[in-house]
Amino acid sequence: MLKGQFDMKDMGLADVILGIKITRTSEGITLSQEHYAEKILERFKNYSNGTAKTPVDTQLHLTKNSGEAVSQVEYARVIGSLMYLTNCTRPDLAHAVNVLSRYTSNPGHTHWKAITRVLNYVRHTKSYGLHYGKEPAVLEGYSDANWISDSKNSKSTSGYVFTLGGAAISWKSSKQTLLARSTMESEFIALDKAAEEAEWLRNFLEDIPMWEKPVPALRIHCDSQSAIARALNTLYNGKSRHIRRRHKTIRHLITTGVISVDYIKSADNLADPFTKGLTRDQVLKSSKGMGLLPMTKEDV
C-alpha cells in the first residue's frame, strides 16, 4: 500500500530506530540503548570515572543552590542527554533525572555530585534493556507518591508505570503541581495522573485492529488503602476543590469500566522507584519487575 503511494523500498525488519536497538529472540524482543549510553559516557567522561549500583544516593539531600551556578550549560547538556535515555528505555533513571532537572537553571557542587552518580550508574548498567515477552498480554499500572511535609518546597512527587508483556511501556516521575496536605492527598493526586495515562493507553489498545475486544478495565495498583477507599467512595465530602475534581474524574473512569483500582504492598509496588531513591536490592527488584534486564552477564 505504501509503495503504491511513495517511492520507497522494503529494507526488512527494523534493527535500530532513533538510536534504540531492537533485538528479536524466540522469547520476545528487547529494546536497548547501549550504544547511546556509551556516547553519553564518552561525551561526559570528565565527570564520570567510576561505577555506582544505584542512581540516587539516599543520604544526599538536594536543595536550591544559593551561590553561583557551577558549569550550568554543561549541566543542562548532561540532563538533556540523560532525558532521552530515560524516556525511551531506562525507567530506572526517571526519578533521579526528574529531580536533578529541577536545578538546571542554577546547579551547585551538590547537584554535580548527584548527576555524577547517575552517570556512574549508567556506566554500570549501560547494557540494560527492556525485555518484552508474549506473556502476560495484560496491560496493568502502578501508582505511587512520596509526600513531603517538612521541606521548604513541600510539593510531593508522583510516579506511575504501566507494563505489558512483562516490561514497562509507559512511565513518569514528576513533581506535583499542587500542595498535598496529607499522604492520602498526595497518593490520590498520583492516582489521578495514572488514571489519565491509563485512559489514553486503553483507547490506544482499542484502536489496534488485532487486539482482542472489548478491552477490559485497566487495573491500577496503589499502596495507599485510604486513597483507594476515597476513589471507590461514591461521595466526596472534603473541602479541597482539586481533590473533589480528581475524585469525580476517577469515579467516572471506574464506573464506566475504563480502570479498576486495587491494593498492593509497598514492597511490590513497581512505581516506588519513581518517587524516591532506593537501596541496591530494591533497585534490582523493581528493575526486574519492569522487565529491565542486562543484555550481558557482566552487568548483573
- The domain spans of the chain are 33-126, 133-290
76 φ/ψ angles, rounded to the nearest 5 degrees: -65, -35
Place of cell 512520596: 146
Which of the following CATH numbers is that of domain 133-290: 3.30.40.10, 3.30.420.10, 3.20.20.70, 3.80.10.10? Answer: 3.30.420.10
Least confident of 3-7, 120-124, 127-131: 3-7
Question: What are 187's three cell numbers?
Answer: 497518593
For residues 220 and 241, the model is more confident at 220
Q: What's the pLDDT tens digit per position in 127-177? A: 999 999 988 788 999 999 988 744 555 678 999 999 999 999 999 999 888
Q: 287 pairs with which residues across the strands?
A: none
pLDDT of residue 298: 46
pLDDT of residue 149: 47
Alpha carbons 155 and 250: distance in angstroms, whole number: 22
pLDDT band at 74 (very low <50, low <70, confident <90, very high): very high
pTM value is 0.89
pLDDT band at 236 (very low <50, low <70, confident <90, very high): low
167 φ/ψ angles, rounded to the nearest 5 degrees: -145, 160
Alpha carbons 259 and 47: distance in angstroms, whole number: 44
